[in-house]
Structure 1
Amino acid sequence: MSPSGVDHRQDNSTTQQDAEVMTKRILWKLDLHVLPSLTLLWLSAFTDRTNIGNARIAGLEKDTHLHGNQFNICLAVFYVSYILVELPSNLILKKMKPSRWLPFLVIAWGTVTTLSGLVHNFSGLIAIRFFLGFCEGGLLPGIMLYLSSLYRRHELQQRVGIFFAAGSMSGAFGGLLATAILKMDGVGGLAGWRWIFILEGLATIIIACLAACFLPADLATAKFFSQEEREFAVRRFEVDQTGGATLHVWTSSEQTNKQTDDIEKDVDVSVETPSPVSLEQTGQEREIFEWGEVKRALRDVQVWLLALTYTGVVVSLYSFSLFLPTIVAGLGYRGGQAQLHTVPPYVPATVLTVAVAIISDKMKLRGPFVLFFLPIAIIGYIISIVAKNNTQRYVAVFLIASGVFPCGPCLLSIIPNNVAPHYKRAAATALYLGSSNCGGFIATFIYTSDQAPAYIRGHTITVSFLGMAWVFIALNVAYCYWENRARARGLRQNNIQQYQMSLDAGKTRVPMGDRHPDFRFTL
């Protein structure tokens, strides 16, 4: 009890409760305005990227006179342009504002998808797929960078899981939608596969326009927050970016009556009522671009360990989504039945993706979940290789989807969790996703029609990449554990002196970010 008769321990408990209530309110408003829009954007992206698989079994190859590996070449061209634009897009994201840049990208590729319904030959399909990748390449790294600027580090993955699950749903949704659209075969003198591109492309454009109306540019300018909520949201985010601390909200009366010395004994970090927040006052907006941050991203060991991990997962993820319709057709199903049988494997994958994302945030773990789920997918591929009948192969598809899809949000969240400040995170996210998307090239060539229905060569290559992914995610978990132990033992305190010397010499003006000895990596 203080001399004034005020029990500051009770005050502290009250302010902690106020902070929790405020946090829940902020997260609810963010989720309501951000997640539905991003989920629909990603659903559209994944549908537009993979609908060529549905179009293929509906007559695209025959009508465009494709032969040999020309279909696979068309798929590979997509990843050429996709990879080229990821880093530039992320570096300009903040200047262009993500609430406008991301919907703009989606409108652009929705337009390209619509035009895909007008192609008549191999060269036309090559051109369309190149521009589709060029428009879409900035979306995923942009979404990850955008979410990491709105949510604290261990609030991130469950949000990533929700929009990433849209990728799983797009497989089911795309199959159902394609089944319905194919009934338009002959309408307007166009084949049904052309209507798949035209209608899904137009839907994408509409979704992007709606998303632009709801997405906030950043925390400091979000119109759906009150001034108090806006100030609190910015401060709690910045505390998290500097290593994390207990956050308290002080009311005006408590500000007047509190005695600082007494309170500091009970409180780790108090955030007093701040002055109005402007764009210039927030840590993210103060940071200026320096090429040194790109170089730091290039030298970060986690970027490359995780890039090799995600490359292995991407080989499975992309080949599964692109070729599942063909695999199902190889099992003896045709037409609408083939489209419908692509749907069930995505259902358990979607449920697991969301569940793992929520649990992962609560436990503040990423890599260990990948270590657990990748073997499930590996077992699925092994069953596919040794399967003696179509029923066994179809069961294996469920294991593959349930093992691969839950790994996606875990791997997408690690770099935003472990890299700071903003421009290093922007560069690292783009480099990581850009290099790992090279797996897309491999994915497009390992499943060829001459392997149907067993696809033993394709499955063998894919399971080898998943084995590689397991090894590299294990190395990354070990590295983060080792580095966190070193920081806890005080072995990285010289980082502060080195940073101060660079600051005094005018070599940098950006925050310390992940170099700070109090910063802890997420396993």
Structure 2
Amino acid sequence: MSSEPTEKGHGPALHGGDTTPEVGTLHDRKLKEELEPSSGSDIAVVESGAINEKALLRKLDWRLMPAVGILYLLSFLDRSNVGNARIEGLADDVGMTGNQYLTGLTLYFIGYVLFEVPCNIVLKRTTPRFWLPTLTVVWGIVATLMGLVQNLTGFFIARFFLGVTESGLFPGVVYYFSMWYQRRERQFRISLFFGFAALAGSFGGILAYGIGHMGGIVWENGWRWIFILEGIATVLVAVAAYGFIHNYPETATFLSEPERDFIRHRLAIDSDATRDERFTWNNVFSALGDPKSWLYGMSFHFMSLPLYTFSLFLPTIIKDLGYKAANAQLLTIPPYALAFVLTVGVAVLSERTNQRAIFIIGSAVVAIIGYIILIANPDPSGRPGVSYLGTFFAAGGIYPATALALSWPAINVSGQTKRAVANGMQISIGNMGAVIGTQLYRANDGPHYFVGHGTAIGYLVGEIVISVLLYFLLKRENERREAITPEVKEVGQLEDWTGDEDPRWRFQY
């Protein structure tokens, strides 16, 4: 293979030479082994010329993670604050019964599911710097308007369009990470990014507690201010995001040219991120026709029901244990804080051991224990501490398992457009579980919520089954390919690369 740069370029030699060493040489293989980190959180210091890899990755993390993490925190905050608003008088003011509240939640997820894949296609055809802040501005406006609804119809419309506008963020960011980080680095970053959802739960409780005291200012109840203030904050942050969201390494202004060359090289020896892939509909259909894309979607499907029902109904569940509304808001904070810590910790262990399925299964078992505690408590109102303990187990299992499930397409799907579509498919298929879940926690089911908790247990068992299936399917496919041809990781430097259907590609499980 020629050492001349391709259209995107692989840059100059990293050790000060005039040419880039050929792929497959002993020098290049040695460099690749030096560059590949042991985990997303424990990266060896590697120096090549003037570039220190550990310092560069730390620089990427500080530039990328806070920017997209804040947007996702706002997304999860805006979608889940309806649970806090409900116990602050929302239902009474718009004339909404418990079942109608569930309908509003369902409309949100219907809007979400319908537009995820189209949103990722738009992202591929535009840029992250334009698309991600634009989505955030629009959903911030919708969230603000939710505080002004006067009747049930207005509430339903606002919830639907909130789902539409928020649908492109998470799958878009997962794809975005795949264009910056090596395969083994993505899972930790995706888990850390998803951990912002748990932080949103904690911040949501704190904010709702404070904002709830604004009842009597303009409106009798304080729930409107929850939507209005948080929605305005979202718009302001989104407008600023046009300035601090970066596109891809080739155009990032915070990188020097040697750093860009270094990133191109380390991505080229690990993934397809440096390839100049044009959008084609064939690549879209490739994702739609791949059974593994659907299985990744089912993995998130089985986690989305417990994930979203937990965040939407936790304030109500705690209130039904006998706590006042204000205390119920505050008591939602500790379970989410634990969820964040465990999400990051499990992600680190998963990457260090290079195992995904086993940690998803273990986390799902922890969540099942939590729901069993919630169901088994014979007197939730008389013994609220027992049920409250159950919420810690539930949160501590749901969030780590979901984060790992969401990382599978990002590390296993090769082909930029195919990966973007597969990420969108996963979220769309997954959120169908959330649509079902919104109908399970009915007003007259508290405080035991047998139907909701029992269905969550069933779904978590389903997650265990699908994780076992994916483990053996991917392991067997790797063994089949190993008998055909050796693995080649330098896919960014292969002119004949066709994507993850190439037998030289290996899946991680």
* TM-score normalised according to structure 1 size: 0.84
2:230 equivalent in structure 1: 200
Instruction: Spell out the pairing of 1:239-258 with structure 2 (5 A cutoff).
Output: 239-241=269-271
Q: Which has the higher helix share?
A: 1
CA contact (8 A) 2:84 2:208 kept: yes
- Tell me how far 1:475 sits from its aligned partner: 0.3
Q: Does 1:179 align with 2:209?
A: yes
Q: Deviations over 1:167-193 (max 9, x none)?
A: 011111101100001111111335310
Q: Does 1:222 align with 2:252?
A: yes
* Correspondent of 1:100 among 119, 125, 130: 130
- Tell me how far 1:116 sits from its aligned partner: 0.6
CA contact (8 A) 2:124 2:417 kept: no
CA contact (8 A) 2:188 2:344 kept: yes
Q: Does 1:479 align with 2:476?
A: no
CA contact (8 A) 2:296 2:426 kept: yes
Following the alignment from structure 2 to structure 1, what is the Cα–Cα distance between the partners of residues 235 and 126? 19
1:396 equivalent in structure 2: 390
Aligned-residue identity in percent: 39
Q: Deviations over 1:389-428 (max 9, x none)?
A: 3222111111000011011221111101110110111111
2:319 equivalent in structure 1: 329
The amino acid that maps onto 2:143 is T
2:6 equivalent in structure 1: none
Instruction: Spell out the pairing of 1:381-420 with structure 2 (5 A cutoff).
Output: 381-389=371-379, 390-420=384-414
Q: Detail structure 1 runs of 4+ shifted over 6 Å in the superposition.
A: 8-15
Following the alignment from structure 1 to structure 2, what is the Cα–Cα distance between the partners of residues 28 and 84? 36
Following the alignment from structure 1 to structure 2, what is the Cα–Cα distance between the partners of residues 335 and 207? 29
2:303 equivalent in structure 1: 313
Question: How many residues were matched structurally?
Answer: 462
Following the alignment from structure 1 to structure 2, what is the Cα–Cα distance between the partners of residues 475 and 14? 35
1:346 equivalent in structure 2: 336
Q: Does 1:434 align with 2:428?
A: yes
Following the alignment from structure 2 to structure 1, what is the Cα–Cα distance between the partners of residues 481 and 31? 33
Q: Deviations over 1:476-523 (max 9, x none)?
A: 011111111112222699xxxxxxxxxxxxxxx994121222211110
2:78 equivalent in structure 1: 48
SS at the partner of 1:151? coil
Following the alignment from structure 1 to structure 2, what is the Cα–Cα distance between the partners of residues 194 and 446? 26
Instruction: Spell out the pairing of 1:12-51 with structure 2 (5 A cutoff).
Output: 17-19=46-48, 22-51=52-81
Q: Deviations over 1:311-363 (max 9, x none)?
A: 11100000000000000010001121111111111121110001112222233
SS at the partner of 1:344? helix
Following the alignment from structure 2 to structure 1, what is the Cα–Cα distance between the partners of residues 248 and 408? 21
Note the residue ranges of structure 2 that are not aligned, 5 or more in a row. 1-24, 35-45, 488-494
Following the alignment from structure 2 to structure 1, what is the Cα–Cα distance between the partners of residues 220 and 446? 29
- Tell me how far 1:376 sits from its aligned partner: 0.7
* Correspondent of 1:516 among 494, 499, 502: 502
Note the residue ranges of structure 1 that are not aligned, 5 or more in a row. 1-7, 243-281, 494-508
1:496 equivalent in structure 2: none
Following the alignment from structure 2 to structure 1, what is the Cα–Cα distance between the partners of residues 189 and 414? 19
1:85 equivalent in structure 2: 115
2:285 equivalent in structure 1: 295
1:163 equivalent in structure 2: 193
2:440 equivalent in structure 1: 446
The amino acid that maps onto 1:297 is A
CA contact (8 A) 2:191 2:407 kept: no
1:422 equivalent in structure 2: 416
- Tell me how far 1:10 sits from its aligned partner: 11
CA contact (8 A) 2:124 2:279 kept: no
1:255 equivalent in structure 2: none
SS at the partner of 1:288? coil
CA contact (8 A) 1:156 1:361 kept: no
Q: 1:386 to 1:422 in 2, by over 3 A?
A: same
SS at the partner of 2:438? helix
Following the alignment from structure 2 to structure 1, what is the Cα–Cα distance between the partners of residues 157 and 81? 17
- Tell me how far 1:289 sits from its aligned partner: 1.8
Q: 1:388 to 1:235 in 2, by over 3 A?
A: same
- Tell me how far 1:456 sits from its aligned partner: 1.0
Q: Which protein is bigger by CA-based radius of gyration?
A: 1
SS at the partner of 2:504? coil
Q: Does 1:371 align with 2:361?
A: yes
1:154 equivalent in structure 2: 184
Following the alignment from structure 2 to structure 1, what is the Cα–Cα distance between the partners of residues 152 and 476? 52
2:352 equivalent in structure 1: 362
* Correspondent of 1:191 among 221, 228, 238: 221
* TM-score normalised according to structure 2 size: 0.87
Q: Deviations over 1:362-405 (max 9, x none)?
A: 33322221011101111111121111232221111110000110
Q: 1:238 to 1:13 in 2, by over 3 A?
A: closer
